[in-house]
Homo-oligomer: A and B are copies of this chain.
């Protein structure tokens, strides 16, 4: 299971899923520079190898793969895996090059570790779709499992980046999940127009003084195509900056 470390209960929950489907659990910890924009938080991304090791030991993880930069990116590397249209929307539209970095590092880790199964979290749902697409398109012999998002009691999705939030911001960040739940209620009440739902979600989020919306979007959860009218398998997802911290969350539903 590939991770960028600074492990939390969300990661551990994915690892337990991996342990159920596999004989041997390998967890990699590598903060991958190529998936960060130059102005993004690569350098200050939180790291705590000692705590990660303890958590992995307690979980009875079989192997930790903790490569150095030069083990993964050989000098003068010039090769990337590029996934197409599924990388162009949502996160891909706001973080150019992000999924190129993600697909490339995951391809590398798959080639090194040679897993039979790899588990990804639903919180990064588009990432899981991109990886599934890569695996299918490049005929990689790996089964991709997507496991549920783990949340605090408050509803806030676990994320290493929550670390950046002040107490005040942490409260404001609850608006992300609240807006997803609002969408769910609207759909349950019969609303099928994406724009109406998205607008109400935006309004709810923007009540928080430090919240800035990158996107609130309703898409087909398999193709990631934006939906005007809700139909079939649906992904409701959003990216919101609370202060300087960029958070994402999503839920899936069917109509």
Contact = CB atoms under 8 A, between A and B. Distances in A.
B78 A138 contact: no
A138 B72 CA distance: 8
Contacts of A108: 138-139
Nearest to A78: B84
Interface residues of A, number: 27
Interface in A110-136: 111-112, 114, 133-134, 136
A35 to B, nearest CB: 15
Interface string A68-111: 00001010011111111110000000000000000110011001
A204 interface: no
Nearest to A137: B79
Interface of A: 72, 74, 77-86, 103-104, 107-108, 111-112, 114, 133-134, 136-141
16 contacts: A74-B136, A77-B136, A78-B84, A78-B86, A78-B133, A78-B137, A79-B82, A79-B103, A79-B134, A79-B137, A79-B138, A80-B81, A81-B82, A81-B138, A82-B82, A114-B141
